[in-house]
Amino acid sequence: MEAAMGLMRRMPPKHTETALSALLSLLPDHSSDLLSQIDQPLQVLCDVDNAKEFILCEYNRDADSYRSPWSNKYHPPLEEGIYPSAELRKLEIEANEIFTVYHGSKYAHGKRGYLHEGGWEAIHVIQVGPEVQGMAHYCLTSTIMLSLTTNGDTSGTFNLSGSIRRQMKADLCVEDGHLCNMGKMIEELEGKLRNQLDQVYFGKTKEMVCTLRPPAELLPMALPDARKP
């Protein structure tokens, strides 16, 4: 398993899906571990009842069907599918409504990008411990996957892609409600991850390029070529 994760750390992020399915076929006994520890690019399906799209992931999958959070129905239909309890379902409905608004406020929807093509995906998984004296333990695992491609006649192809994953734990008062607590944590961690991707990860790869072939202004004074006028 450790070696498998090692491989995933090195394979090109744009080939994550191929690498994951290769590992699944080599290590069928570890499939649950692999699927839960390796985030793959998300796919969406349309909920037939609501004509709304929903995301397919490990967390709403049972056998080969995916449960839509909008209608609570499995697509394709599944007999004996597992459903959340009434209380959890209520939380799920609220959460999806709130996060739809959050998403609308934070992500510029389907905008056209000049010369750029790319995708940004965020997966947040939160575990909430039982309530003890008005406090609950929250553990948030966030993964951001991003891919940017530039194509141009003068600059060739430029692809920068990758994923980072971080965890955040907190004990918070449940008075404000789980959703409020979870939302704040997600917003905070997502912001941190975004800055890290931008400044640390993209910065590091840029630094590497400039180490390989430093731009003229960083070079120690080049010796003047005596043969040229």
Phi, psi (deg, nearest 5) at residue 146: -140, 140
Among 48, 49, 50, 127, binds another protein (CB under 8 A): 127
Site membership for another protein, residue 96 (CB under 8 A): yes
Q: Which residues, 152 to 181, sit near another protein by CB under 8 A? A: 152-166, 176-177, 179-180
Tell me whether residue 107 or residue 171 sits nearer to another protein (CB atom). 107
| Cis geometry, peptide bond prior to residue 76 (ω within 30 degrees of 0) | yes
Tell me whether residue 103 or residue 171 sits nearer to another protein (CB atom). 103
Site membership for another protein, residue 64 (CB under 8 A): yes
Burial class (CB in 10 A: 0-12, 13-18, 19+), 66: buried
Site membership for another protein, residue 72 (CB under 8 A): no
Distance in angstroms (rounded) separating the CA atoms of residues 117 and 128: 36
Burial 173-183 (b: 16+ CB within 10 A, else e): ebeeebeebbb
Site membership for another protein, residue 6 (CB under 8 A): yes
Which tokens in the block code for residue 67?
Answer: 């449960």
Contact track, another protein, 132-151, x by CB under 8 A? --------------x-x-xx
Phi, psi (deg, nearest 5) at residue 145: -120, 130
Site membership for another protein, residue 95 (CB under 8 A): yes
SS (H, E, C) 179-229: HHHHHHHHHHHHHHHHHHHHHHHHHHHHHHHHHHCCCHHHCCCCCCCCCCC
Shortest Å distance, C-beta 48 to another protein: 14
Shortest Å distance, C-beta 170 to another protein: 14
Among 113, 131, 132, 169, binds another protein (CB under 8 A): 113
Among 49, 90, 120, 131, binds another protein (CB under 8 A): 120
